[in-house]
Amino acid sequence: MKKVALITSGGDGAGINSTIYMLANHQQINLYGFHGGYNGILSNDPIHLTPQFVDNKSLDGIHYIQTGRSNLPYTQEGRERLHRKLKTEGFDCLVVCGGNGSQKAAQLLHQEGTNTIFVPMTVDNDVISSDYSIGFDTALNKLMDLLYGLHDTAVNMPGRIFMVEVLGGNAGNLALESTIAGAGDLAIVPEYATQKDVIVKNVQKKLKQKQSLIIVCSESAYEDNNYQSGNQGVSFEIAAAIEKGTGIRVRKSIVGFYIRAGRPSFKDASIAAKIGAKVAYYVTNNQFGVMVGVQNDHIQAISFQEIRKQLNRLHPQTVEVAKQYNKIIH
Ligand SMILES: Nc1ncnc2c1ncn2[C@@H]1O[C@H](COP(=O)(O)OP(=O)(O)OP(=O)(O)O)[C@@H](O)[C@H]1O
Ligand SMILES: O=P(O)(O)OC[C@H]1O[C@](O)(CO)[C@@H](O)[C@@H]1O
257-285 tens-digit pLDDT: 999 989 999 999 999 999 999 999 999 99
Instruction: Decide whether any atom of ligand 1 lies within 6 Å of the 118 Cβ.
Output: no
Q: H/E element holding 110?
A: helix 100-111
The rounded Å distance from CA 229 to ligand 2 centre is: 7
Task: Report the percentage of the chain scoring pLDDT > 90.
Answer: 94
The rounded Å distance from CA 90 to ligand 2 centre is: 33
User: What is d(CA 307, CA 124) in angstroms, rounded to the nearest whole number?
Assistant: 18
Residues 6 and 130 in one domain: yes
pLDDT band at 42 (very low <50, low <70, confident <90, very high): very high
* Index of the ligand 2 atom closest to the CA of residue 169: 16
pLDDT at 205 > cutoff 80: yes
Residues 225 and 159 in one domain: yes
ipTM of the complex: 0.99
Residues 32 and 147 in one domain: no
Residues 37 and 123 in one domain: yes
Using only C-alpha atoms, the chain has a radius of gyration, in whole angstroms, of: 21
User: What is d(CA 55, CA 24) in angstroms, rounded to the nearest whole number?
Assistant: 9
Torsion of CA 158, 163, 164, 167, to 10 degrees: 170
Residues 191 and 149 in one domain: yes
User: Three-state SS for 238?
Assistant: helix
- For range 314-318, the mean pLDDT: 96
What CATH code is carried by the domain that includes residue 182? 3.40.50.460
Instruction: Decide whether any atom of ligand 1 lies within 6 Å of the 135 Cβ.
Output: no
Residues 36 and 74 in one domain: yes
246-258 tens-digit pLDDT: 999 999 999 999 9
Domain that holds residue 53: 2-135+264-306
Ligand lying nearest the CA atom of residue 36: 1
User: What is d(CA 137, CA 251) in angstroms, rounded to the nearest whole number?
Assistant: 26
C-alpha closest to that of 259 among 317, 215, 321, 216: 216
Q: What is the pLDDT of residue 225?
A: 66
- Please state the pTM of the whole predicted model: 0.97
Mean pLDDT (the chain) is 96
Residues 123 and 183 in one domain: no
Structural contact between residues 166 and 216, judged by C-beta atoms closer than 8 angstroms: yes
pLDDT at 65 > cutoff 90: yes
Residue 79 C-alpha from the chain's centroid = 25
Asked, for residue 329, whether it belongs to a domain, the answer is: no
Ligand lying nearest the CA atom of residue 68: 1
The rounded Å distance from CA 256 to ligand 2 centre is: 9
Residues 204 and 239 in one domain: yes
Residues 106 and 247 in one domain: no
Residue nearest to atom 12 of ligand 2 (CA): 11
Residues 161 and 301 in one domain: no
User: What is d(CA 236, CA 296) in angstroms, rounded to the nearest whole number?
Assistant: 38
Residue nearest to atom 30 of ligand 1 (CA): 70
154-171 tens-digit pLDDT: 999 999 999 999 999 999
Instruction: Decide whether any atom of ligand 1 lies within 6 Å of the 68 Cβ.
Output: no
213-236 tens-digit pLDDT: 999 999 998 777 678 888 899 999
Asked, for residue 159, whether it belongs to a domain, the answer is: yes
* Index of the ligand 2 atom closest to the CA of residue 174: 14
What CATH code is carried by the domain that includes residue 45? 3.40.50.450
Structural contact between residues 211 and 179, judged by C-beta atoms closer than 8 angstroms: no
